[in-house]
Amino acid sequence: MTSAAVILFGPPGSGKGTQAKLLAGSLGIPHISTGDILREHVAAGDELGRQVQAIMRAGKLAPDELVNQIVEARISRPDCAAGFILDGYPRTLPQALLLEGLLERRGLPEVVVNLAVDYNIIVARISSRRQCPQCGSVYNLISNPPQSADVCDRDGVRLQAREDDSEAVMRKRFEAYERETLPLVEHFRTSARRFHEVNGSQRAPEELVRRICGLIQQE
């Protein structure tokens, strides 16, 4: 694959994080998750973390200015020179426009992948999702369980359910996604150098990543 910024879209809980980690291993470029970065601040209990925790509990999205600063700083690091995978960014049109400007100045074309998943399927998945608080690995107790119940395969730490994974919070996040982020799919459908839409409802993670990786590597 030539150097590119891979942008993953899809509703909250659609599997973007899992796919991004698998793709990063296959393509050899960094996975950048704005959600993971923000949750790291929450775990640290710093000022930014306290602000973000209140936003998450309300089921809202972090403000553009805050997220833009985090992303711009991260993609400026040397390991992103040959490309990277963005998971959870951009979520609004102002974020998308800022990102397009950053990529144009760096000469990195975007490859956009949209995961299409039914909301009801997502809600069913959410009640089974667990995350390792130490390494960030994400599991699903039904479709992608750990080898030992409730314990991370990598470091043996007990898995946790995230506070923002309740059904009530998820429904609010769907509403915010439809209002602020879904229009970006159509924006990138016409503006991106390459745009791919993939049905992510039924395929296993490993099968889905092979499909997405094949699309990304096409020229």
Can 129 be counted among the known catalytic residues?
Answer: yes
**Catalytic-role residue among 106, 162, 194, 211:** 162
Q: Give yes or no for residue 1 having a pLDDT over 60.
A: no
> Choosing from 21, 39, 74, 129, which is the catalytic residue?
129
Catalytic residue at 154? no
Q: Which of 16, 21, 39, 130 is catalytic?
A: 16
Lowest mean pLDDT among 67-71, 155-159, 206-210: 67-71
* CATH code of 41's domain: 3.40.50.300
Q: Spot the catalytic one: 39, 91, 125, 130.
A: 91
16 belongs to the catalytic site: yes
Read off the pLDDT of residues 160-208 as tens digits, 9 standing for 90 and up: 988 777 788 888 889 988 888 889 999 999 988 899 999 988 778 888 9
Confidence bin at 219 (pLDDT 50/70/90):
low
Q: Which residues of 92-124 are buried (b: 16+ CB within 10 A; e: fewer)?
A: beebbebbbebbeeeebebbbbbbebebeebee
Band of the pLDDT at 2, cuts 50, 70, 90?
low
Q: How far is CA 142 from CA 123, 145, 167, in A?
A: 13, 6, 17
* Enclosing domain of residue 63: 4-217
Q: Work out the average pLDDT over 68-79.
A: 87
- How many distinct structural domains can be found in the chain? 1
211 catalytic? Reply is no
